[in-house]
Structures are given as C-alpha cells and as structure tokens.
Structure 1
Amino acid sequence: MSTATMKRPRSAAPGAAGSGKLSFPGVLRGEFIKFFSLPSTMILILATIVVMVAFAALGAWLIGWSMGMAAESPEMAASMGDMGEATAALPTSGLAFAQLIIGALAVMVMSSEFATGAARSTFVAVPTRQPVFWAKTLMIGIVSAVVATVSILLSFAVAKPIAGAYDLELVFSSEALQRAMWVGVLYVVMVSLIGMALGALLRNSAGGIVVLAALFFVLPLAMGGFSALADWLAKAMRFLPDQAGAALMQLQLAPGGLEQWQNGLVVAAWIVIPLVAAAVVLQRRDI
C-alpha cells in the first residue's frame, strides 16, 4: 500500500475544514433557518411576550388600586409620591422576569451546537468559525430586539385602557415612556448577548442558564444584602449589568449613582467583553 493511500485526506478528518466558500449572508441565513426550525424557539418567544403583557396589565391594576386607596389615606398618598414615572414604566415592568426567558433562549443558541454535536458539521462547512459566531450574535441581537419591541408595544396596548380606568396617564409619546421603551430593548439585547456568550464559553445549556440567573438575580440580591456592612459593595453594585440598565431607564440620576454616559459604557462593556472572550475561546478550543 502506497504512502498516499495510507494518509487520510485532510477534509475527511473529524472537524477538518471544508471549502470555506460560504459568504457571511449565507451563514446568517442558515442560522436563521436553524433557529426557527426548533419548536422551543417559538415557545420561548411567545412565553416572553406573554410574561411582558401579563406584568404590564397586573402593574397597571396595582398602581390604580393603590392610587384609589391613597385617595382615602393622606399618609399613604404622601408615602407614594408621584407615580407618573412608575406609570410610564408599565410597558417594561415585566423585563425583570422576561429577561431570563430570552436569556435562556440565547444560551441555547450556542450551547446546543455542542450538546447535539452539530458543531462538527457546522465548522466543517465554515472552518474559520468566526462567521458562525458573529452570525449567531447578529441573529440573536435582531431577534431579541424585535421580541422586546413587540412585547413592549403589546404591553402598552393592554395596560393603557386599564390605566385609563383609574384615571392614570399613560402617554406613548412621553419622554419617560420612550426612554423606558428603547432602553428596555437595549437591556434585552444585552441580556441575550451575554447569554449567547455564556453558551459559547461553557458549552452547556444548564450551566449557562444558571450563571446568567446568578448574574442578574442572585448576585444583585447578595450584594444588596451585604451593602449595608461594606460601603464598597454598594459602589460596586453600580457596575452590575442589571443596575446599569435600570439606571439608564431613569430620567433622573439616583444619589451616588453613575452618570448616564457611564451607565452606557458599563452596558457596552457587558456586551463587548463576554462576546470577545467567547469568540477567542471558540477559535482556540477544540470542538
């Protein structure tokens, strides 16, 4: 047997490079097809929308009920203060819970490639790997932005008549609502991109979702609980992604908080740094 026949062709080796001639638009189109071919995708997207709308409706009813109670109690009215900003934030009131659903979906966008073994065929077709990663990044960014926008608009449509029944003003063109809406969309995109980066770094859906939940739920609660004992913890909390995102939604700065441009930089850093780290690790680690 000749030496030529004993050697395995490079293209036949596991994880070997293919022709590498796929364009980025072609890779992006393939990712969209894979994404929407899974039943779980639409289930999680619909769950996100339902949670957002339900919390907006519940929030409108609670604020209206509280205002009715406050009308009979001057002390309660004084403690509640102006509810205008809280009313304007009704369409985004479900973000705290919907973020985990859309974040879990984003984790699985990347981790499922390795859990199912699809990564081998994917990276044979696109051996440089980076087009796949950035196509997934662009896809999940677009999907999360669209889902967030639709959810907020539907939440407004449902909450407005409920708020109107209690004589609460919920004006779509108000500065507070517009700020909450568009920063809310940015916030959902941030959560989804962090989730996708965790999926690439950990290659495990359960692990990525747990870390994401810890980052956005457990860590802020833990740091908030001990912030009274250590002043530096209160200052460090300002750099958590949920704190920076929430601060961007506010029209007025909280005492001791970061400036709005600083909050914007924190949000940008939480988007860029995990994605760059995931891209580097994906390139260097074996399939």
Structure 2
Amino acid sequence: MNDDYLQDLMIRFAYNSTALNGNAATEEETRSILLSEYISKPIALRELYEILNYKDLMKFLEAHQEEEIKAQTIIEINRIITENLDSNQNLTNNEKAKLEKWAADLTWRLKFCTSDEERFKVLIEQHAEFKKLNVFDSENDSTGRALLLLSCMHDKIPPIIFEKYQEERYELAMENQDIEELCILAAEGKKKEKKRLAEYDEEYQIDVKLLKTLSDELEEAHSTFYQDEVLEDEYGQNRAFLDSVKTKRDQEQIKFRVRDYKEHCQDISKDRCAARTNRTRYDDYDEGRHL
C-alpha cells in the first residue's frame, strides 16, 4: 500500500468508524482535522480527540501489520483510540485472558485458510465475536473495527471498512451476531476498496524508460549550455525532483519541468551570443572610429 492510499484510508476509516459511534463531523471535516488540524466549525472536544486519535492509530497499525495480534496489541489499540477521552483500562486477569484467547483463536483459524474468501469470513466472524467480549470501559466497537483493519493489512487483503450509510444494518447484524449480513455489508465495501486500490496502483505505475530519457536530456542540457546561478538552481531542483518521482502525476510534471529547463538554457545561450555579437560590433565600430 502506497503512502497516498494509506492517507486516504486513514481519513475514510476515521470518518466512518467515529461516525458509527455518533461523531457528527463530516468526511471533509475529518480530512481537514487530520491533514491540516483545521476545524471549520465548532465541534465538541471529545469528537475532535476521537478523530485526531486515528492519526496515531494508523501509524501503529502500519508499524505492526507484519506481527501476529496479541492481547497487548489489542490493549494498545484501545489506549490509542481512547487517548484524552477519560477512559479506564484497568482490565482484570479474566478480561486479559479473554483477549488472549480471542487473539489466539484468530491466529489459529487464519493459519488453516487456503483462500482470501476463507480469510474474509474468518475475519468477519472474529469481528462479531470481539463485540461479545466487551472488556474495555469504552470504544469496544471502535477497537474491534481497528483490529479488523489490522488483520486485513496483516493478511494482505483489501481493507474492510463498515461505512456510515450501513449503520442501521451493521448495528443490528452485530447485535444479532448475523454473520451472513455482516459478510454482505463487508463485501459491499470490499468491492469498492479493490477498485480504489487498483486506481492508486495504476497511479504508481511510472514509465522507467521515460524517466531515464528525461534524466539524460536534463544532464545533456546542463553540460552543453552555460549555467548561470538561476539555471544551476533550476537544474538542482529538477534533478532532485526527478530522483524522487513516484507517481504518474510526478512523471507528467517533470516532463514539463525538463522541457522548460532546456528552453531556459537555450534562451540564456541565445542572449549570451547576442551580447557577444553586439559587443564585437561595438568594438569594431569603436576601432574604426579611431583609425
């Protein structure tokens, strides 16, 4: 998963998960809070913290996506989600044991899956099972959705996000432990997520040969034409940008930047030639005047 997709995922997951808990912020407001730390209208402090906590949550999920989920993983996820929300995490030994068993069951069941479809169903069943544990003082459902996302990342399958528009059906299915309905709801999101992933993957399919050609053109112009301070600075910026190209948008941008740089080099060269020509004519005139 590339960085742009993960940022988009963070925003959408934060919006939908907090909205399912009753947070009134829109998706655009959630985006603004997470990316710009800007609030366009008054918002309850609790709702603000609920959203901001997802920035640290995504960092944690990315950092631990290769690891098997343990009880301590679950506890840490809940701690991050409930930061600044006056939540109590004083779990009893029995509650910790429940978390250990849930995590062990998840790992054991996934080990015997032979297809993404089997993994998908196991993750949904474990998500429903987690609700029954209800071990935390608050944000049990949010923690369960974060565990579902982490499990998808760990097993390299498209993320499962239950969305705000599914709220009534989702809550009823979770309450009734209706696995079939939960699978239907998750499949709706899974289909959209596959398409979104494909769009981001396509955006990152850059033309290596084209970049090599642009690099050669940049270096040729730099070595062929006189470089004043402005051109040297432009060359340096283009060289750095070319070396960091990751997306098709970057690729299109550097095409125009290299073209502009070559034109600037040619313009400066023409100006220098014209200046030399004028200087020669002036010198010839001046010499003839003194004969």
What is the TM-score when the length of structure 2 is the normalising length? 0.29
Structure with higher Rg: it is 2
Q: Which has the higher contact order (CA 8 A, sep 6+)?
A: 1
